[in-house]
Amino acid sequence: MEKRLALSTPTMHGEEMYFINEAFEKNWIAPLGFNCDSFEKETAEYLKNGTDNEMYCLSLNSGTAALHLAVKLAGVKRGDIVLCSDMTFAATVNPISYEGGKQVYIDSERETWNMDPAALEKAFEKYPNAKVVMLVHLYGTPARMDKIIEICEKHNAVLIEDAAEAFSATYNGKQCGTFGKYSVLSFNGNKIITTSGGGMLVTDSKQSRDKAFFWATQSREPFPWYEHKEIGYNYRMSNVVAGIGRGQLLHLEEHKAKKREIYERYKEGFKGLPLTMNPYLENSDPNFWLSCILLNEGVKITPIEIMEKLNKENIETRPLWKPMHMQEVFADNDFITANGQAVNEDLFSRGLCLPSDIKMTAEEQDVVIDLIKKMF
């Protein structure tokens, strides 16, 4: 490849510049303004998906900031246990440490690569006082939400949903980002739509949204002078950046359709090889943010060998997220499996993320498929 073929890069369309220009013309550069308000309303409309559910969005400068405020809203305090997805990006779980909470990691099921409800149930047996669950939808594949919600309700636990990778994916027709008491989207540079950097907190409670806004704007009390009773943060999204988001939102469905095409094309291309694609449930509609492969057990080549070979051809691939319970920084955190065998360690040793950029041509994708085929 002459130019590097990446996992996922920004795809702009033109409307983004329209909203940015408008911000410049009207001097809505700072601090907040019309683009932020509109981006929040438009995102809420999208997530409501024709229902009349209440939905309040707060645009922030990163998905991580949104996760941090979600953890605060859920009331996590020093020493509190939070039951967390184990196979994920560290950004999902770091905010728990910001608040002094303790992550207990929950293994994944093979059917979605997401939190295994059976392991979550076991975790509640061991930690009956756990009051918060932090769940991720990996690579845009919805987790088994009916079971997860049932278990959370049974144990009276607050669900935080990290839908950073799953914007536009649905489960039983309901949008990811609307299952949590507090849910989070990310518009980081490699996500399905991007603002160059940014995030969104989503909740059905106006009061929670207002509280998060307060924290995100330095916890300023309503006084003529700067009056503070709580620690605050500078987490708001800029109005210029929100303009990019408004333009991107118009193309979300189109991005999703292209991601699916890429996934289907890999699936077709790999027919007959000893590997499978990242799996999903029948009642879910993933956004296919990243297409991944899982080498069959006993296959002689490793994901790292494939990665190195493709890298020589200027093609980016990456192992799956290294499970959090295997990370040095979380060496003291507990890890719960359904039956003693760590599914995530197995997935990590055999899985690989493939180029899933929607600007990739069919010819370019064929090169990737052929290079991998030749390795068997």
Ligand X SMILES: *Cc1c(COP(=O)(O)O)cnc(C)c1O
Contacts with ligand X by CB under 6 A lie at 62-64, 88-89, 91-92, 136, 162, 164-165, 186, 188, 199
CB of 341 to ligand X, least distance (A): 24
Contact 290, 113 (CB under 8 A): no
Dist CA 88 CA 44 (whole Å): 25
**Residue 343, SS3 per DSSP:** helix
CB of 158 to ligand X, least distance (A): 18
CB of 228 to ligand X, least distance (A): 26
Region class of 30: left (phi > 0), else alpha (psi between -120 and 50), else beta: beta
Q: Closest CB to ligand X among 7 and 367? A: 7
Q: Closest CB to ligand X among 43 and 275? A: 43
Dist CA 85 CA 102 (whole Å): 13
Structure tokens at 295: 């080498």
Listing from the earlier edge strand, what are the strands of the sheet with 351-353? 275-277, 292-295, 351-353, 318-319
Q: Closest CB to ligand X among 190 and 219? A: 190
CB of 296 to ligand X, least distance (A): 26
Q: Closest CB to ligand X among 89 and 124? A: 89
**Residue 174, SS3 per DSSP:** strand
CB of 340 to ligand X, least distance (A): 26
Contact 194, 188 (CB under 8 A): yes
Dist CA 4 CA 372 (whole Å): 17
Contact 356, 7 (CB under 8 A): yes
Taking CB positions, which residue lies at the least distance from ligand X?
63
Q: Closest CB to ligand X among 238 and 270? A: 238
CB of 204 to ligand X, least distance (A): 21
CB of 34 to ligand X, least distance (A): 23
CB of 297 to ligand X, least distance (A): 27
Which of 106, 96, 110 is closest to 126 using CA atoms? 106
Terminal Cα-to-Cα distance of the chain (whole angstroms): 21
CB of 51 to ligand X, least distance (A): 25
Structure tokens at 222: 């309503």
Which of 259, 131, 248, 260 is closest to 200 using CA atoms? 248
Structure tokens at 324: 């959090």
Q: Closest CB to ligand X among 160 and 310? A: 160
> Which residues is 318 bridged to in the sheet?
353
Structure tokens at 345: 């360690």
Q: Closest CB to ligand X among 88 and 238? A: 88
Q: Closest CB to ligand X among 164 and 360? A: 164
Q: Closest CB to ligand X among 186 and 278? A: 186
CB of 345 to ligand X, least distance (A): 19
Structure tokens at 213: 């806004």
Which of 313, 286, 285 is closest to 375 using CA atoms? 313
**Residue 247, SS3 per DSSP:** helix
**Strands 335-336 vs 102-106: parallel, antiparallel or unpaired:** parallel
Q: Closest CB to ligand X among 155 and 236? A: 236
Dist CA 348 CA 323 (whole Å): 7
